[in-house]
Amino acid sequence: MTFSGSSSPDLDQLHDDFVPVRAADIQLAQARISAVIAPTPLQRCPRLCEATGAEVYLKREDLQDVRSYKIRGAYNAVSQLTEEQRTAGIVAASAGNHAQGVAYACRTLGIQGKIFVPSRTPKQKRDRIRVHGGDMVELVVTGDSFDEAAAAARADAAERGATVVEPFDSLDTVVGQGTVAAEILSQLTGMGKSLDTVVVPSGGSGLLSGVISYVADMSPHTRVVAVEPKGAPSLQAALDAGHPVTLDSVDSFVDGAAVKRTGDVNFEIISHNTERLKVLNVSEGAVCTELLALYQNEGIIAEPAGALSVTGLERLEFEPGEVVVCIISGGNNDVLRYSEIMERSLVHRGLKHYFLVNFPQKPGQLRHFLTDVLGPDDDITLFEYLKRNNRETGTALVGVELRHAEDLQTLLKSMDDSPLDARQLKPGTPEYEFIVSGV
């Protein structure tokens, strides 16, 4: 595989006293958490092997007790607190997965915790936080984004003297997440294989920092690919600027990676490893397509962030037989989201389109639209009569699903040739998002 690093950070801005995370630190963490956290499977994926020509393995962190790798960093951090800190209690902010790891640690270690999550956190994740934490955890829903919830958590901790357990911007958390890489290398060694490429989902970059630190020591030939959502490219923004920057806004759909700012600790670690790093961003629609493929082919119920790594594969080229590991970071997905996932996937693949059609108010116009405008394989998935503009015309919102993406040009030409006045609603425009969000 050919790799090219992202824009080089301004190394002069990094702290002179930087101390890297070492493999030995991660191995100590592995021993510390092994009594409560079992290794997860490393599974060969025939479908992705055939598609890429590489030997692709999936690291199934969605099979953790809390359905994500976040339990590693959370438990590693919480288990090292002093008695005084445990008595004062802990506070955490999370989009959902870190919160479950902290809740699990609170209940297991008998520590009172208070967890802040943004309002956009799926109900499934909120429910699981309560299950894992029981009466040891208080759940607070506040703010529209992770960053707003994090600000509220830090303010609460400062007021009460509690300890904040950071989801990614902390050495203890990074070291705990690095145990994923330690397991991967151990499992591959048991198969008689070495790791050529590891593909890592990235939000705040805690997992990425741990993985890249471990392979730097133990498998220096390994290249690391970080995949972040197009709607929240905080890592790429930091690399471009030479320091962490706060994005103006993020698309919250990939909730586990919708972070406005890469952690300072994480960026410092990553900045010293750019020679082995490639950063990609993938669209939310592409993530949805891969979510469905994982479910339909491998039976894996991943959450959006959990599918980031495999979504990035189509953007990469591999040598035949190259050993590639994709980390499936989490599986906390609410089944109620699958209608939206299907919708976004269809739009991404060019199969779903929406139009505003003005129908003349005279007999036969709908029949004309069905028989003369639509193709034989086009399917109407939505028809909503919105209003009558005047006595001559009336507007309808029409959703059309195509069998093949290339059929769109034929449909658009038929509309242009028709006496009907039709306007396509384009993804990304305010009117499209407003109308389709209610579909």
Token pair belonging to 344: 């976004």
Report how far residue 423's alpha carbon sits from residue 415's, in angstroms, rounded to the nearest whole number.
Answer: 9
For tokens 């034989």, the residue is: 376
- What are 438's two structure tokens? 């209610």
In this structure, what are the phi and psi dihedrals at residue 302, rounded to the nearest 5 degrees? -95, 155
Q: What is the distance between the alpha carbons of residues 46 and 303, in angstroms, rounded to a whole number?
A: 21
Close Cβ partners of 345 (under 8 Å, ≥ 6 residues apart): 285, 288, 289, 291, 292
- Residues in the chain, how many? 439
Q: How far apart are CA 188 and CA 179, in angstroms?
A: 14
- What's the sign of the alpha-carbon dihedral 315, 317, 321, 324? negative
Cβ distance 39 to 185 under 8 Å?
Answer: no
Cα–Cα distance for residue pair 233/282, rounded to 1 Å: 9
Q: Are strands 352-360 and 393-401 parallel, antiparallel or unpaired?
A: antiparallel
Task: State the Cα–Cα distance between residues 169 and 201, nearest whole angstrom.
Answer: 16
Give yes or no: 271 in active site: no
**Residue 260 burial (CB < 10 Å; 0-12/13-18/19+)?**
buried
The residue type found at 114 is K
Q: Do the beta carbons of residue 207 and residue 308 sit within 8 Å?
A: no
Q: Which of 59, 70, 278, 352 is catalytic?
A: 70
Based on its alpha-carbon atoms, the radius of gyration of the chain, rounded to whole angstroms, reads 24
Rounded to 5°, angle at Cα 372 from 366 and 373: 80
CA atoms within 13 A on the CB side of 140: 18
Q: Indicate the pairing of strand 113-117 with strand 137-141.
A: parallel
For the chain, the straight-line distance linking the first and the last C-alpha, in angstroms and rounded, comes to 42
Please indicate whether residue 123 is annotated as part of the active site.
Answer: no
Closest CA to 93 of 149, 19, 13, 44: 149
Given the residues 68, 94, 252, 329, the one annotated as active site:
329
Consecutive H or E run containing 88: helix 83-88
**Residue partners of 221: CB distance under 8 A and separation at least 6:** 194, 196
- Pull the structure tokens for residue 270: 């990553």
Any idea which residues carry the catalytic annotation?
70, 329
